[in-house]
Amino acid sequence: MRAPLTLALWQCAPAPLDVAGNLARLELAARQAAHAGARLLVCPEMCITGYAIGTPAVQALAQEADGGWAHAVAAIAQRHAIAVVYGYPERSADGRVFNAALWINAAGKRCLNYRKAYLFGALDRDQFAAGAPSAALFDFDGWNVGLLICYDIEFPEAARALALAGADLIAVPTANMADYDFVARAVVPVRAYENQLFVAYANFTGSEGSLVYGGLSVVAGPDGTPVAQAGRDETLLIATLHDHRLTAARHAARHVQDLIALRNPAP
């Protein structure tokens, strides 16, 4: 049986365009999370620059996946011995800009870079190119983990692809508005339940321009019940994931196993 995995979700107000300030705040959150025993810190979508900053700012600020921000966060991760997942605008080699999330481990290694595949409305489509759907996973201390970003988790196919690939945990940086509270309260727990895995959904709170974010960051368990749930205020939400919850859920509900069997019938 795998050792329990303690993680932290950083629910904060956005600070648009304040990259230096956001990196400093991220370091403080990493320090606090590590002090609380967390081995992973999940930050909101586009937390480095702000989310609703407009196409000109996105184009001006975007960096490569191995750019200066990645090196700065790698140093933070190493200083506090904690893995970090953060959202940022990524410039690709061909000049396109993606809404991306990068997982850096406690040794400062880039483990997985993910580009948002499902773009939400004009706000996303005007600022970013769509990434290709991906079911990429990597091993984090014995846990198979993958990434989605915000709107992606609202598509059953995105989470199911990761489940079929063997995911135990999906980390989801998000910037979800208060008008869509049902996503944190209902959709995320359902995704966890129907795929028998954990989902860690880290949201902004407060406002950014005309947007009002809903908070309600949540770690949903594989049985559909919350392991931890935030309210509206800024907070560092701590949750511990236990392997026995996965085992119990996968015995009680067999959606993924039955789908695999249906696709690969015995001779």
Question: Which residues are known catalytic residues?
Answer: 45, 116, 150
- CA proximity to 42, closest of 2, 76, 82: 82
The dihedral built from the CA positions of residue 106, 108, 111 and 112, taken in this order, carries a sign that is positive
Distance, in Å, from the CA atom of 150 to the CA atom of 131, rounded to the nearest integer, reads 13
Whole-number Å distance between alpha carbons of 221 and 229: 11
Rounded CA gap, 163 and 184, in Å?
19
